[in-house]
Amino acid sequence: MVVNTLVITHSNFSHLFYEVSELLNIPMKLVVLEVEFGNVWEHITVDKMIDYDLVITSGAHLDFIVEEFEELTQLVPVYSLKFSEADLVRSLVKAKAYGDQIATIFYRDHGYDLYSYQLLLDIEITDYRCDNMDDAYKKVKKVKEQGIHSVVSTSSICDVAKQLEFPNTLVYSLDTLRAEIMKAFQFAISKKNAIMNTQLVKTLFDIKTEPAIFVDQDFIVLDVNHAALMFFKDMSKAEIVGKFIHDLIHMPNSSLIKKESYNSKIQSFPITYQERIYGHLVTLSDRSTNRLHKKRVTLHSKYKFANIVHESTVMKKVVAKSIQYATNSDAPILIYGETGTGKELLAHSVHMRSERRDRPFLPVNCAAIPSNILESELFGYEEGAFTGARKNGKAGYFELAQNGTIFLDEIGEIPLELQVRLLRVLQEKEIIRLGGQTIVPLDVRIIAATNKSLLELIHRGEFREDLYYRINVLNITIPPLRERLKDILFILVHLLIQNGIDETQARDMVNANQALLQEYTWPGNIRELENFVLRLTALAPPNSTTMVLIESFNETLTEFISLNTSGTLTRQEEKTSLKHIDLTEHEKSNIVKLLLEHQGDKSKVSEELGISRTTLWRKMKKYSILD
């Protein structure tokens, strides 16, 4: 089993990893990433991280990842490199060559008694701790100014000392690094085996077509598979887990039970380790019929996290946080984002990363359904509930999403009177169909989304405060494109390629218009980008050269922005905006735009462009702009 390992370190430390990798005879593939402190997220993404079985790092990089991006540590195990006492002594001996006054600076308490080594080595040691890189820089500068001869530390602080031209000694040794990598390898193998075994058991458990129940040594239910949920059809999973199994099924000595005409044989398989019983797997074998095969799921989710096209650090954080929510919790999630930021795409991705991935995913746009029928659509109805009701009634969206996820988009549009019923669903995990009397237990994860401030709606009396706190257990905010400029270019290239543009031409088109693309605020976000690309590909001449495509791109973009900002910006704001753009790059489009706005008045156009009428005429001739 090969352990794919990512090492995040500084350039002055990386050579040791290369040396160690040649000496080790273990199935470990090392990828060494040299990163300056604070630049970790410019080099890695969540998608790249989850390709590794282990991350090895230390010092500033470790603190930065643990404190700022805790979500990643939930996905990939992070091993913290430690130096030994022998390393510390060796480095002190080596540092003595610079002089007998030595500073040791570390991020954490190393736990070693330095006083005894002062006497033993006849040196003077000043020991410091630092909180961050700024603090480390100040400490190194301070000890240099105090006349101390050198510093002993980890790679990041030695980097700082090197920048300040101050003698430094790296505390790690080749032998310790080899031992630490062996420990990290064992740690990763144990973790990988545990995950694989857990997933194997979970998969086997879920694919069983007969009801299966995991219980502990006291026969308290820990988990049930989908077939068991169908068997206990009047109870949700939340109601089953934690109960004593004898309260759920009768287990006589004959090991035969009868429940709702379902003849079953009970079998109990002990789960043991070192001759100790830790629990049991209880199965109910069907003797007469094969009714409990899994239902075919037709409401599949469409997207995964891999479909979220992004490059910016802020979106990497959003994705990492969302993955953690998907894998570690089943609580309700509230997604906030402006129109077109991809709230539904993120909801799909969370569902596909969760344990409910093989169950239904049902998106509901609450704003698109008329308020007078929204109740029956959400909760279903019985026959005769109202005029025109179907014979035999109809299951609502919540029932259709049973054991899966329901996505309530634009939740702020739900009428107040309906919010009371939704609150009950969240509290009691059950529904009653419209016109019905039967309580239907639910096992559904709720993901809600809004582009409005729900707190503001609460203040205006348009949204219930108690419902807000029920749906806002976990929350994710998707930033608009204007707050992640790098993503505008990245997504646009992706969309152009998706619409048949050659990748090299797509990049050239985007790069040539970078200033204008990032100047515009894209209020419709990704949806507006998609609309622009559709317009561009419809108007672009077929089989064109790159230069023609760039010109077409610029013309279409300028026109697109002009149409979408018409009436929203003042003339002065538009002038200010244009000053930030390279005039030579967009000159032709600007001239055409201004001629149209001023109805061919060249005096006004030349005044706005800051050129003479003669120069304007010459440029019009150059670009073949008809008078």
- pLDDT by residue (tens digit) across 553-608? 888 888 888 887 765 444 344 444 443 333 344 566 677 767 777 777 888 877 77
Termini Cα distance of the chain: 73
Would you state the pLDDT for residue 260?
A: 37
Work out the burial of residue 546: count CB atoms within 10 Å of its CB; fewer than 13 is exposed, 13-18 middle, 19 or more buried. Answer: middle
Strand partners, 477: 336
- Name the strand (E) or helix (H) holding 250: none
The C-alpha atoms of residue 626 and residue 617 are separated, in whole angstroms, by 10
Can you tell me whether residue 461 is helix, strand or coil? coil
DSSP string, 532-591: HHHHHHHHSPTT--HHHHHHHHHHHHHHHHHHHHTTTS-HHHHHHHHHTS-HHHHHHHHH
CA 186 to chain centre: 28
Strand 430-432 and strand 54-57: the pairing is: unpaired
440 phi/psi in degrees, rounded to 5 = -110, 110
The domains located in the chain, with CATH, are 3-81+176-189 (3.40.50.2300), 85-171 (3.40.50.10660), 209-286 (3.30.450.20), 305-478 (3.40.50.300), 484-622 (no CATH)
Contacts of residue 368, defined as CB under 8 A and 6 or more positions apart, other chains included, come to 410
Of 567, 489, 561, which is closest to residue 531 (Cα–Cα)?
561
Would you state the pLDDT for residue 291?
A: 36
Would you state the structure tokens that stand for residue 559, as one six-digit string?
């026109």
Strand 168-170 and strand 3-9: the pairing is: unpaired
Would you state the structure tokens that stand for residue 260, as one six-digit string?
């709702």
The C-alpha atoms of residue 540 and residue 549 are separated, in whole angstroms, by 7
- String of b and e for 343-371 (b: at least 16 CB within 10 Å)? bbbbbbbbbbbbebbebbbbbbebeebee
**Structural contact between residues 501 and 465, judged by C-beta atoms closer than 8 angstroms:** no
**Structural contact between residues 366 and 413, judged by C-beta atoms closer than 8 angstroms:** yes
Number of C-alpha atoms within 13 angstroms, CB side, residue 155?
Answer: 25
With tokens 């190194």, the residue in question is: 140
* 403 torsion bin: left (phi>0), alpha (psi -120 to 50), beta (else): left
Strand partners, 104: 127, 152
**Structural contact between residues 478 and 335, judged by C-beta atoms closer than 8 angstroms:** yes
**Structural contact between residues 405 and 425, judged by C-beta atoms closer than 8 angstroms:** no
Mean pLDDT of the chain: 81
Work out the number of other CB atoms within 10 angstroms of the CB of residue 70: 12
The C-alpha atoms of residue 264 and residue 280 are separated, in whole angstroms, by 18
With tokens 């199994």, the residue in question is: 245
The C-alpha atoms of residue 439 and residue 234 are separated, in whole angstroms, by 9
- Helix, strand, coil abundance in the chain, percent, nearest 5: 50, 20, 35
Return the beta strands (E) in 137-288 as ranges.
Answer: 150-153, 168-170, 212-216, 221-224, 256-259, 262-273, 276-286
Work out the burial of residue 575: count CB atoms within 10 Å of its CB; fewer than 13 is exposed, 13-18 middle, 19 or more buried. Answer: exposed
Would you state the pLDDT for residue 612?
A: 72
Would you state the pLDDT for residue 154?
A: 85
pLDDT along the chain (627 residues), means of 10: 80 74 77 73 68 79 69 75 87 93 87 84 90 85 94 87 92 84 84 68 67 83 82 76 79 39 63 71 60 43 88 90 90 94 94 90 90 88 79 87 93 93 90 87 93 92 93 93 92 90 89 90 93 85 78 88 65 42 52 74 76 74 66
DSSP string, 97-121: GG-SEEEEEESS------HHHHHHH
Would you state the structure tokens that stand for residue 338, as one six-digit string?
């402006």
547 phi/psi in degrees, rounded to 5 = -65, -40
Strand partners, 152: 104, 169
Which DSSP category does 393 fall into?
Answer: -
